[in-house]
Amino acid sequence: MPRQSITLTEKNDAWLRQQVEGAGEYANKSELVNDLIRRARRAEIINHRLAIAEKSGFSHQSPADMLEEFKKRQSEEP
């Protein structure tokens, strides 16, 4: 896995530390940062698809069908 070096503001570093130490959901900051990036990527895909859908004017898919298709595409990504 590629390694990166980033500089954080004091507030962001404190928030990351609190999330790792307080919530106990992540073993370290790297796990949390990767999860945040995954979530941002998902949100970007959703926003892109919504923008396309808004421009098209109409969809034959139900909300449940759209969600199922989205989840399938997400599971196919590396």
Q: What are 16-72's pLDDT values in tens digits?
A: 999 999 988 899 999 999 999 999 999 999 999 888 888 887 777 888 998 898 888
Q: What angle do CA 30, 70, 77 make, to 5 degrees?
A: 50
pLDDT, tens digit, for every residue of 48-63?
988 888 888 777 788 8
* pLDDT band at residue 15 using 50, 70 and 90 as cut-offs: very high
Residues 6+ apart with CB under 8 A from 1: none
Enumerate the domain spans of the chain: 10-76
State the burial class of residue 30 (Cβ atoms within 10 Å of its Cβ: 0-12, 13-18, 19+).
Answer: middle
pTM to 2 decimals? 0.65
Under 8 Å between Cβ of 14 and 38? no
